[in-house]
Amino acid sequence: MTYNVRTGPLGGSALGPADPGREPQLKLTQRRIEDLICPAGKKDVLFFDDEQRGLGVRVTKRAEKGSLAWKTYLAQYAFTGSKRRIPLGSCSAISLAAAREAVQAILSDVAKGRDPAAERKQAAREAKERAEAEALTLGVLIDRWEVGHLAGRRPAYAAEATRALRFALKKHLTKPAADLTPKVVKSTLNAIADDGRKATARLTGAYGRACYGWAIGKDLLADNPFAGIKLDAVDSRERVLSDNELKAIWAATRGPGPYNAIVRMLLLTGQRREEVAGMTWGEIASDLSTWTIPASRAKNGVAHIVPLSPPAQAIIKSAHRMANDDMDKPEFVFQGRGGAFNGFSKAKVTLDEDSGVIDWRLHDLRRTMATGLQKLGVRLEVTEAVLNHVSGSRAGIVGIYQRHEWAEEKRAALNAWGEHVAAIINGRQAAGNVTPMRRGA
């Protein structure tokens, strides 16, 4: 049921039944608006001004006579046969004159063929979308990708993927993720490749493509700025350092400091850079005989026991163990600033200058050791066990049924390699072929 107002002195105004389809109308004044009330049993009621077409006042059931509280102005108009309403604001916040002017402006727009209500809704949607986009910064996106998707992936992959993206795009982490453009992505990846790190550029591009692809699947973003970027294939490296180069690198790392110790440990153990740099005291046996890399830090997600040769044990003995009052904080063997050492790029430049060895990477030490073990007569299966490989001889059905851990053979191989390296750096004749212990021998 609708209502109209029988006008007389407003103090005696009353609400009563109106003709069906008609809106309550009266000449609005400040005093009359104050005295408007909502009929009992209704949630709200609309009153329209008979002076300014399209101006209305919505009065809710909480409104009281003599007050402007719970009363709001609105504009009403018809567009393509449909009724539209636009809230203008509280009657206590804007004046009646201002409300009439606002309605006049709205009706003027309607006369020009515009639909102000639809335009406002569109603007509100765009503002909401923009606010959501600004809240989803690149940094937040990477965090959400890490928690929402990478939690189910191999820990080493998750850590490297997020680290690579945060490092490469550090200038954009606080900007909306939706604002990252293909141009910026291509420029970033090209800069990494031009710095001699083509493999890193390719991996970073793949990580970014996966991250944005996940976000699109979750309806967080509409476009993937990595999607159209060509990721160039990287030629596999076959660099094996010569004995003279090993001797020069060893001599250049004779000083104190975590980086020098890491380089030597990489050569002696053949493990990966991140694994060595992240070594903790808790992973080292009390007698320094073994180093256990947990599955969470191993690249292939498989826990790995590394027998430590005498030269490797000597490096660990010389490492400075810092006092640690926080039992939940890992104690890194090769401590950097605030955590594990990570200043590899700058330190590598210095090492190249001091050693005179060029065109090599730290990962080449791993290949050099593997090649050296082959020259020493170490079985392929043992070498792959030392490297914690799950490919080659340890892949497929062989890997399923062959569960031998090669513990004794690995120790013999690494001890032989340690002696071989010692012979090289001391200018002695390197040891000849050795035969690590074998099953059944």
Question: Residue 436: pLDDT band by 50, 70, 90 thresholds?
Answer: very low
Average pLDDT over the chain reads 84
Would you list the DSSP string of 142-186?
HHHHHHHTGGGS-HHHHHHHHHHHHHHTGGGTTSBGGG--HHHHH
CATH number of the domain bearing residue 381: 1.10.443.10
Is the predicted pLDDT of residue 209 greater than 90, yes or no? yes
3-state SS assignment for residue 70 = coil
Is the predicted pLDDT of residue 68 greater than 70, yes or no? yes
CATH number of the domain bearing residue 111: 3.30.160.390
Question: Are 315 and 377 in a shared domain?
Answer: yes
Highest mean pLDDT among 145-159, 170-184, 322-336: 170-184
Specify the number of domains making up the chain. 3
Question: Are 179 and 304 in a shared domain?
Answer: no
Question: Are 327 and 199 in a shared domain?
Answer: no
> Phi then psi for 67, rounded to 5 degrees?
-135, 150
What's the pLDDT score for residue 124? 81
Question: Are 261 and 396 in a shared domain?
Answer: yes
What's the pLDDT score for residue 64? 95
What is the pTM assigned to this prediction?
A: 0.49
Question: Residue 300: pLDDT band by 50, 70, 90 thresholds?
Answer: confident
Q: Tens of pLDDT along 391-419?
A: 544 444 344 344 457 889 999 999 999 99
- Amino acid at position 208, single letter: G
Question: Are 373 and 262 in a shared domain?
Answer: yes
Question: Are 295 and 400 in a shared domain?
Answer: yes
Give the separation between CA 308 and CA 398, rounded to whole angstroms. 27
Question: Are 175 and 309 in a shared domain?
Answer: no
Q: Is residue 237 part of a domain?
A: no
Q: Tokens representing 84?
A: 């539209």
Range of the domain at 266: 243-425
Task: Extract the runs of DSSP E, i.e. beta strands, from 244-322.
Answer: 290-293, 304-307
Dihedral-angle region of residue 255 (phi above 0 means left; psi in -120 to 50 means alpha; beta otherwise): beta
Dihedral-angle region of residue 124 (phi above 0 means left; psi in -120 to 50 means alpha; beta otherwise): alpha
